[in-house]
Amino acid sequence: MKKHTLISFLLVLVTASLLFGAGVQEQAEAQAPQTVLEFWTWRPEDVDFYAKQIALFEAANPTIKVVQTAHKNTEYNTILSASLSGGAGPDVFQGRAYGGLATFADSGFLEPLEAWMPELKNYSATAVLGATSPTDGKVYGSPAVSQTVFMYYNKDMYKEMGLSIPKTWAELIANFEAAKKAGYIPLGNGAKDGWCLETMVGGMGPSLYGGTAFFNDVVAGKKNFQDPAFIAMVEQMKSLTKYMPDMYMGISYEDMRSNFFNELSPHLIAGSYEAAYFKTQNPELNFDIFAVPGPKATDPAYVSVYADMNFAMNAKSKNKDAAVKFLKFLSSKEFGKAMVTDLKMVTSVPGVDATSDPFIARVLELQKNATPYLFLVGFRYQQPTGSSLWQAAAQGVMAGTLTPAQAAKQVQDGIASYYKPFQK
C-alpha cells in the first residue's frame, strides 16, 4: 500500500508540475511584450475599414498591436506637422502626395523607404512620382490610391426627368435647368471650404481650359493662368452658382455630400473617394458618374487624376522593423483588393485586378481621358502653393468680390513669385 501511495503521490506531483508549467507558459505568452504602432489617417469615415484590416494584420503578427487614430481631413496636416515637429507622432501614417509629401520629407520627418521596401520598384512611375521628393529624388511613401474627379449623377432622378448623360456643356446646362424646374437643387456643390472649389475646377474645368495640353504648356511656362481659355473656364464656373444651393457660400463639404446622398440634388462634382461613403449613408442610392463635357461633342471630356495618398513611416519611429511589416501589409495585393472592393478606390498596388468592381471599372473607363489635377500635381511644391492661391481666388469669384480675370491674375502673380518659367 505504501508503494502504491508513493507512486500516486509522485504522479500527482508530476501532473501538477506539468499543469503549473503550462499555466506559466500561457501566462508568459499572454504577457509577452507587444510592439505598439501608432497609425494615423485623415479619413474618419474609413475607421471601420481600417479596424478590420488591422485585425487581419494583428492575427498574422501577434507581437504587434496597431492603434488607429483618425483626424478630420482639414485639420490633419496641422496636427501631424505639430506632432512630428515635437519629435513624436505616429509610426505609420497616411501621407499626402506631390508637394504635400515633399514638405514633410524635406523637413526630415519621413523615412526613405526604398531600402526597406524593394518592392516599390514594381509600382508605376506615375504612382511613385507622387511619393517622391523632387529635392533628393528619394521615395518617402508607399503609393496607396489614385483619385479621379468627375460628376456624380442620380440615375433615378435622371430617369424621372427623362435626362441622358450630356455630351456638350450646353446639354449639361439644360440638365441643370430641368432639375431646377423639377424642384431639385441642380448642383449640390458649395463654396464654404476652399479646397472644395479646387475639386470643383478639377471636375468641370479641364474640358473647358484644354486639359493636358494646357497643363503641359502652363507647367513649361508657354502659357500662364491669365490665358483666355483659363479665364473663360472661371467665368463658366461662376455661372454655375445659379444652380447651386441657396446661400452656397455657406455650404460646407459635409453639406455638399448630404445634398447628394439625401437625393436633394441629382449632381455633385466630387472625387472617386466619395462612392463608398455615399453607399454607407444611403444604400438605396442609385448613382453613376460622367466626365463633364466641353463645348462640342467632339471635344475630349477630361477627368482630373492624381496620386492621393501614400503610406509613410516616421523617421523618428522607435519601432521601424514593426512599422515596415505594417507598411508591407498596407502594400500587399490583399489590402489593395480590399481598397477596391470595400472603399471603391483605385489602388496603386501593382497586380490588383480592379475591374471586377463595376464602379471602379467605370472610373477606369473615364480615365481614358485623364489629365493631371492642375494645381495639386503641378504647383503644390513651393509657397504660396497653387492650391492655396486658387482656393482663395475661387472663393472671391464665387462670392462676387473678384472677377475671373482678377482671380486669374492673383493666382498667376502668386506662383510667379517663385516659379522660374513664369519669370521669363
Average pLDDT across the chain, whole number: 93
Angle, nearest 10°, between helix axes 253-261 and 194-204?
50
Residue with cell 481659355: 229
Residues 205 and 227 reside in one and the same domain: yes
Instruction: Look at residue 86 and tell me whether its pLDDT is greater than 80.
Output: yes
CA distance 358 to 28: 49
Say if CB 184 and CB 280 are below 8 A apart: no
Assess if residue 134 is contained within a domain: yes
Task: Write down which residue in 322, 337, 364 finishes a domain.
Answer: 364
Instruction: Look at residue 75 and tell me whether its pLDDT is greater than 60.
Output: yes
Residues 281 and 396 reside in one and the same domain: yes
Query: Taking residues 54-68, what's their average pLDDT?
Result: 98
Collapsing DSSP to helix, strand or coil, 349 comes out as coil
pLDDT at 354: 85
Q: How many structural domains does the chain have?
A: 2
Assess if residue 20 is contained within a domain: no
CA distance 31 to 183: 63
Torsion angles phi and psi, residue 395, rounded to 5: -65, -35
Residues 6+ apart with CB under 8 A from 175: 161, 163, 166, 186, 266, 267
Residues 87 and 162 reside in one and the same domain: no
Residues 279 and 345 reside in one and the same domain: no
pLDDT at 21: 52
Task: Write down which residue in 321, 345, 364 finishes a domain.
Answer: 364
Residues 56 and 154 reside in one and the same domain: no
CA distance 306 to 101: 13
Residues 408 and 273 reside in one and the same domain: yes
Cα pseudo-dihedral 267, 270, 271, 276, rounded to 10: -60
pLDDT at 356: 84
Beta bridge partners of 290: 151
pLDDT at 355: 86
Report the percentage of the chain scoring pLDDT > 90.
89
Task: Write down which residue in 346, 364, 382 finishes a domain.
Answer: 364
Residues 300 and 169 reside in one and the same domain: yes
Q: State which residues form the domain around 286.
A: 147-305+367-422
pLDDT at 6: 47
The three cell numbers of residue 299 are 471635344
Instruction: Look at residue 17 and tell me whether its pLDDT is greater than 80.
Output: no
Look up the pTM and report it. 0.85
Alpha-carbon distances of 212 from 134, 161, 370, rounded to whole Å = 21, 34, 8
